[in-house]
Structure 1
């Protein structure tokens, strides 16, 4: 595998606001492309007293062209009618399109004081192609956190989950505390319930968590998590970073329990119990999908590929204090697929599905936490029941995989 190219820029001599031919504004932007594979990743940490260091990874083929200028733009909210502070980092200068490219640079904190949303990309991409633009929610905690997680080679992870046995390090601000406090918390959280469920039936997440264990480490040493769990990493009195540690192989699902558990979205409790009690649970899962496919193996293979592919992608996109497929957005992503249109505001994220088979609109409300600053909960409504049951039936009758059936 080719290693990503890392470009390090320290861009502290900011020239102020830069005029642009296009003035992209988030309330007009369709964010659905951010829920497809191959989107850029972004993270940040404080640098010194007055700067924020950004880390942006452009997957292969998504970086700005060599002749395009890399732009940083901010808005006071998703509803803002015009950008706030913005700056031009100059021509991107990369001609290779075959590798991931990671860029790191500094921006001043002062002009970000009134900003809530930040984007990095070419001006054209920010306006017309948000899926190849890196978007960052500028929380107060993010502005103060003095580190980001990197892999053993020093490349930023840009994700909120780790794997057991994975070695990570901290990319630190020079003035950060040398002592790292690592806390482990209980992480027995329930999967999301269907969108038509009475909200009173939802088991509320605890408002606070008590650490099950606390460990002190030297901040510049490698860290290796031996067991799954919910953790926070904290330097001094700076805001902690929450991460979920999962078994090796995550975000993919391969073991029998991992394959059976997401089927709760398509099955009855009795069916799941039979799968779990089977002497050969993986074979039982295959038989479940073969029945759904009407006995056609080619259809069953497509159903398995698509369903568990969505589970893995939901894990990449939405993992927070629990695996991504268990969250409300993960619930819809697995069963209905990526939304056709996504609108964002300060108080909601709105998913729209088009077409005769899955048409519907769903609203999520933000519920940020230490472990997930961009976590959202679905506004559940009884009128979703018919839409949901139709979507489930599509899976259970193999209609989500018509192409192999038509070729027989």
Structure 2
């Protein structure tokens, strides 16, 4: 399937500057966690410019080429007005498949981003009703100064922070080839604790990690990492990029161990031990879900699709120094589902649900690192305990299935 590449030209005129826009932290960003229509962005520093690579899931709703794109930059999530904004006009081929992804590739002046923390691009003259249809990029120092992106075998940017074992990628660096270093680190991180648990029971985590292996490379060359684990990739003295390398089926889970591990959020350690020691662990997993569905196979199949679909989506959305399902946001995503409302400020991300079974609101605080520049940790509270066990009980009684599912 051919992916449509759209090259954009940035207007010098900033005619739209001054138009009032909604406050970023008042926007409901829940659409960012709807993976079916997720727009993505990445960046590479090129001298006095920042090149943006933006991917929209399809051109069907973009009205290209008639509709220009808006690029808006804020100093913080709390800012009342944009720091800078402009319109991007485009030249596009006359023939295109509206069902195929659309790639946007253009530069913005780095000087306009010096004090910026957040950037959004969307195909409209006003902020979309659903901010999830925009491509958002946190302008961390690493993003603003990294001179390379990773591209796949079709020379398209990966737009993700994980690689697959034996996947071939290229270090696409601006300017002359420079030395690059790949470092591997320990990756024995624990899954998230339930939202009511005192996090101190897990013990303090190390603030630093020592590299277990170092490989010297050159920017511009093809790269293949064969061993799953946690890595950083650094070109010359530029900020490093954290990379999580997983099995070739990631973000899906297929093996018996991969299917059983996320069940820790719904089961006891004794139950998981029995599943792992079963003569046929995969069949034992099927039996786990069949019991939850009161021996109704259609309901069991729906439970399996829902739960492991969320595992895969959490891996796509939240993978950092560990797979997404193991993170705090992945924990809530699996058991409670995607939030109906997501609000962000400079100091927190807040999830809200309409269904009282899910409870909340749930507050996450940013805890960035080299491996996970957009990582958030849940603020755990004892009062979540009753809500949490009620949500788990819904799964164990086969009640957590979409409306209209066969029974």
Q: Name the residue aligned to 1:39.
A: 38
Q: Deviations over 1:329-367 (max 9, x none)?
A: 000000000001000000000000112322320000000
Q: Name the residue aligned to 2:138.
A: 137
After the TM superposition, which residues 9-408 of structure 1 pair with which residues of structure 2 at under 5 Å, given as runs?
9=8, 11=10, 14-16=12-14, 18-19=16-17, 23-37=21-35, 38-48=37-47, 50-61=48-59, 64-66=62-64, 67-90=66-89, 96-124=97-125, 126-175=127-176, 177-401=177-401
Q: CA distance change for structure 1 residues 171 and 205 in 2, over 3 Å: closer, same or farther? A: same
Q: CA distance change for structure 1 residues 365 and 3 in 2, over 3 Å: closer, same or farther? A: same
Q: Deviations over 1:246-266 (max 9, x none)?
A: 011000001000000000000
TM-superposed deviation, 1:195: 0.2
Structure 2 distance, partners of 1:359, 1:65, is 39
TM-superposed deviation, 1:24: 3.0
Which has the higher mean CA deviation after the structures are superposed, 85-94 or 336-345? Answer: 85-94
Secondary structure of the residue that 1:398 maps to in structure 2?
A: coil
- Taking structure 2 as the reference length, the TM-score comes to 0.95
TM-superposed deviation, 1:25: 2.4
TM-superposed deviation, 1:18: 2.1
Runs (5+) with no aligned partner, structure 1: none
Secondary structure of the residue that 2:315 maps to in structure 1?
A: helix
Q: Deviations over 1:16-44 (max 9, x none)?
A: 46247661321221000100112101000
Structure 1 distance, partners of 2:273, 2:217, is 43
Q: CA distance change for structure 1 residues 239 and 278 in 2, over 3 Å: closer, same or farther? A: same
Alignment coverage as a number of residue pairs: 403
Q: Deviations over 1:173-229 (max 9, x none)?
A: 115x52111101110100000000012113433211100000101221110111101
Structure 2 distance, partners of 1:124, 1:255, is 47
Kept in 1: contact 2:60–2:99 (CA 8 A): no
TM-superposed deviation, 1:3: 2.2
Kept in 1: contact 2:23–2:80 (CA 8 A): yes
TM-superposed deviation, 1:124: 5.0
Structure 2 distance, partners of 1:125, 1:15, is 18
Which has the higher mean CA deviation after the structures are superposed, 62-71 or 284-293? Answer: 62-71
Secondary structure of the residue that 2:230 maps to in structure 1?
A: strand
Secondary structure of the residue that 2:387 maps to in structure 1?
A: helix
Kept in 2: contact 1:74–1:118 (CA 8 A): yes
Kept in 1: contact 2:17–2:84 (CA 8 A): no
Structure 2 distance, partners of 1:92, 1:204, is 53
Kept in 1: contact 2:9–2:89 (CA 8 A): no
- Taking structure 1 as the reference length, the TM-score comes to 0.95
Structure 1 distance, partners of 2:367, 2:351, is 17
Structure 1 distance, partners of 2:323, 2:195, is 18
Secondary structure of the residue that 2:361 maps to in structure 1?
A: strand
TM-superposed deviation, 1:141: 1.4
Kept in 2: contact 1:179–1:236 (CA 8 A): yes
Secondary structure of the residue that 1:126 maps to in structure 2?
A: coil
TM-superposed deviation, 1:140: 1.0
Which has the higher mean CA deviation after the structures are superposed, 256-265 or 67-76? Answer: 67-76
Runs (5+) with no aligned partner, structure 2: none
Which has the higher mean CA deviation after the structures are superposed, 117-126 or 254-263? Answer: 117-126
Q: CA distance change for structure 1 residues 404 and 77 in 2, over 3 Å: closer, same or farther? A: closer
Structure 1 distance, partners of 2:60, 2:192, is 33
TM-superposed deviation, 1:63: 5.4
